[in-house]
């Protein structure tokens, strides 16, 4: 989907999502995620937006040379889906994997997020994650 076909609210959120990943930090999570949001993160369980900000700060510190590239998005109503690709040095090797975040947006902020990817890529033995051509 092209950004021009998104609602103004979705297009704005996608731009802020890209800005976040251009310079990510735990503190910046709350620029796009409401503190009382419900976050479902594959492999990490369910947490509030506030707890997610703290958790992301710790997680980002442990991911060497991580680059997240937002690739595409689609939205309908209050739902926005963003496909992304991550590359990071994990367990002594460079790993690249893809996933999708599903957001429920209210007043420009995510009030719910599902981070969906094959978390086995993060384990020492790894796995390819969501395959792509």
Mean pLDDT of 97-122: 94
| H-helix or E-strand spanning residue 49 | helix 49-62
Is the pLDDT at 77 greater than 70, yes or no?
yes
For the chain, the first-to-last Cα distance in angstroms comes to 18
Between 3 and 95, the more confident residue is 95
User: In the chain, where are the structural domains located?
Assistant: 3-117
Q: Which CATH number fits domain 3-117: 3.30.1540.10, 3.30.470.20, 3.10.450.50, 3.40.640.10?
A: 3.10.450.50
The average pLDDT across 3-10 equals 84
The pLDDT value recorded for residue 24 is 94
Give 20-56 pLDDT, tens digit per residue: 999 999 999 999 999 999 999 998 999 999 999 999 9
Instruction: Please give the pLDDT value at position 123.
Output: 84
């Amino acid at each position: 989907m092209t950004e021009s076909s998104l609602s103004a609210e979705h297009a704005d959120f996608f731009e802020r999502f890209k800005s976040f990943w251009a310079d990510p930090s735990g503190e910046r999570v709350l620029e796009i995620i409401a503190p009382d949001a419900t976050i479902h993160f594959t492999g990490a369980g369910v947490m509030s937006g506030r707890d997610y900000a703290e958790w992301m700060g710790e997680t980002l510190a442990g991911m060497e040379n991580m680059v997240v590239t937002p690739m595409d998005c689609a939205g309908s109503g209050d739902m926005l889906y963003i496909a992304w690709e991550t590359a990071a040095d994990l367990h002594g090797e460079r790993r690249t994997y893809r996933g999708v975040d599903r957001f429920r947006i209210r007043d420009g902020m995510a009030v719910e997020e599902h981070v969906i990817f094959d978390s086995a890529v993060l384990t020492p033995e790894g796995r390819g994650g969501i395959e792509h051509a």
